[in-house]
Amino acid sequence: METNRSIFLALSKIAKIATSKVSMYSIDDRYSHPPFLRFRFENIGKEDEKYNFLKDVLVNFKGNVEWNLMTKSESSNFIIIPDIFSDHLEKDFYNKEYYGEKFTLLEYHQLIDNAIEDLPNLAKYITLEYNKKVDYLCFNEII
């Protein structure tokens, strides 16, 4: 599975995605900004259970970094991002110098590398947990 698009592909199994971006990081410079995916499920409201399910899956994932699902009240989009960078969304998210004030260059690169390394396993975990949920719901409908 292509690492850069793996989360997009996993989410596509849950519902059709409305987004203009499918990559989580720049292929030209993986350190240009923290990896993230901005998305929304097409024709599904922000209060839908799918988003709560996804937030729980991200919180329960055990990887190199902790992951978060965020949204703003004025936006219909959600963002999947490493939790350590979630506070920086409102500030200078695309400004590498800003991160130099928060982390050493080595720390910043290690955080990015760890997050990118998580992506394939996080995508598999999302898919696995969603399939378990679908199987459970189907089983209960049969009973």
Interhelix angle 105-142/49-60, nearest 10 degrees: 130
> Looking at residue 142, what is its pLDDT?
54
Residue type, 87: D
Residue 9 belongs to domain spanning = 3-142
Q: Is the pLDDT of residue 123 over 70?
A: yes
Instruction: Determine contact, residues 130/13, Cβ cutoff 8 Å.
Output: yes
Tell me what pLDDT residue 133 has.
Answer: 79
Tens digits of residue pLDDT in 31-61? 999 999 999 999 999 999 999 999 999 999 9
How many Å apart are CA 12 and CA 15, to the nearest integer?
A: 5
At 8-30, the pLDDT tens digits run 999 999 999 997 778 999 999 99
Which position has the token pair 């190199």? Answer: 64
Nearest to 42 by CA among 17, 10, 8, 79: 17
* CB of 1 closer than 8 Å to CB of 118: no
* Per-residue model confidence (pLDDT) at position 65: 98
Q: What pTM did the predictor assign?
A: 0.88
Q: Does residue 137 have a pLDDT over 70?
A: no
pLDDT of residue 138: 54
Does residue 111 come out as left (phi exceeding 0), alpha (psi in the -120 to 50 range) or beta?
alpha
3-state secondary structure of 75: coil
Tens-place pLDDT, residues 72-112? 888 899 999 999 998 867 667 777 777 878 899 999 999 99
What pLDDT does 124 receive?
97
Cα separation, 81 vs 88, in Å, equals 11
Q: CA 106 → CA 56, 112, 132, distances in Å?
A: 30, 10, 39
Domain count, the chain: 1
Cα 36 to Cα 42: distance, rounded to the nearest angstrom: 19
